Amino acid sequence: MTDIYQDSIEQSVEKQYTISILTEDKPGLLNAVTIVFTRRKLNIDMINVSASEVEGVSRYTIVLTTSKEQVEKVVKQIRKHVDVLGAFVYNEDDIHYQEIALYKVPTKIFVGGVEVEQIIRDNNARILVIEKDYIVIEKTGHKEETSRLFEILKKFGVLEFVRSGRISVSKSKRRTETFLEELEKSTTHSLSNNNGTVN
């Protein structure tokens, strides 16, 4: 009985999940994916959409905080969409992930001292652009790391700050192309082809 109780607790505890989705690259798909969240009043923490390594296939990385039970249902609903090739849910331990942040700061804060330069070194950031009035600093890392640098730079005056959504790759060794090939082969498209097939 304790196990079932523990299991149901685990199902309902909220934590951060990363959903990775492969879709056909078609207009409207982003809307089709996000309405699955809207309908359940789930707030998306981060989202990134871009072309994958396979031509014509988009990869979505969506981060949200919710229960295991809810995220599993959401992923099943996303998979149901006709133009979705695959959708997977990951814990933070199952993926390698990164975000990128850009900080636009006044050029003058670099003048007359080494403090800012040292901050950039210490945070493994780099200078992307130098203009007369401003400098753009770039940093990649996890949210805590890019936030930490923001907090430090804030006292010098940050003109603009932007952070991307998470991008991630899974720790699985499988290639995306192999997944797509298997997808084409393993599943049936009509009942007549499926008579008696057993996996």
Partner 1 sequence: MEKMDTIQKPPSDIGEKKVRISGSEALILSLLEEGVDTIFGYPGGAIMPIYDALYHYQDKVNHLLTRHEQGAVHAAQGYARVTGKVGVCFATSGPGATNLITGIADAQIDSTPLVCITGQVVAHLLGTDAFQESDVLGISMPVTKWNFQVTKPEEIPEAIAKAFYIAKTGRPGPVLIDITKNSQTDKLDFEYKPCKKIRSYHPYPALKKQDIEDAATLINNAKKPYILAGHGILISGAEKEVLTLSEKANIPVASTLLGLSSFPPDHENYAGMLGMHGNYAPNLLTNECDVLIAIGMRFDDRVTGDVSRYASKAKVIHIEIDPSEIDKIIKAEVGVNGDAKQALQMLLPLVKENTHTDWIAEFRRLDKIEFEKVIKKDTFPDGNEIKMGEVVRILSEISDGNAIVVTDVGQHQMIASRYYKYKKPNHIVTSGGLGTMGFALPAAMGAQVGKMNEKTVAIAGDGGIQMTIQELGTIFQYNIPLKIIVLNNNFLGMVRQWQQLFFEKRYSFTEMVNPDFVKIADGYGIPAKRVSERADLQNALQEMYDSEGPYFLEVKVEMEENVFPMVPSGDSVSNIRLE
Residues binding partner 1 (CB under 8 A):
23-24, 28, 31-32, 35, 39, 72-73, 76-77, 79-80, 82-85, 180, 183-184, 186-191, 194-199
- Answer for the pair 135, 107: CB distance below 8 angstroms, yes or no: yes
CB of 27 to partner 1, least distance (A): 8
Look-up of token digits 């999940």: 17
If one counts every other C-beta atom within 10 angstroms of the C-beta of residue 77, the result is 17
Cβ–Cβ under 8 Å, residues 120 and 139: no
Nearer to partner 1, 115 or 181 (CB): 181
Q: Which of 54, 79, 62 is nearest to 18 (CA)?
A: 62
What's the closest the beta carbon of residue 184 comes to partner 1, in angstroms? 5
Cα(100)–Cα(141) distance, rounded to whole angstroms?
A: 6
In the complex with partner 1, the residue whose CB is nearer, 118 or 187, is: 187
Q: Name the minimum Å distance from CB 170 to partner 1.
A: 19
Indicate the residue among 30 and 136 with the shorter CB distance to partner 1. Answer: 30
CB 104 within 8 A of CB 160: yes
Shortest Cβ 21–partner 1 spacing (Å) = 11
- Measured from the CB atom, the residue of 131 and 197 that comes closer to partner 1 is 197
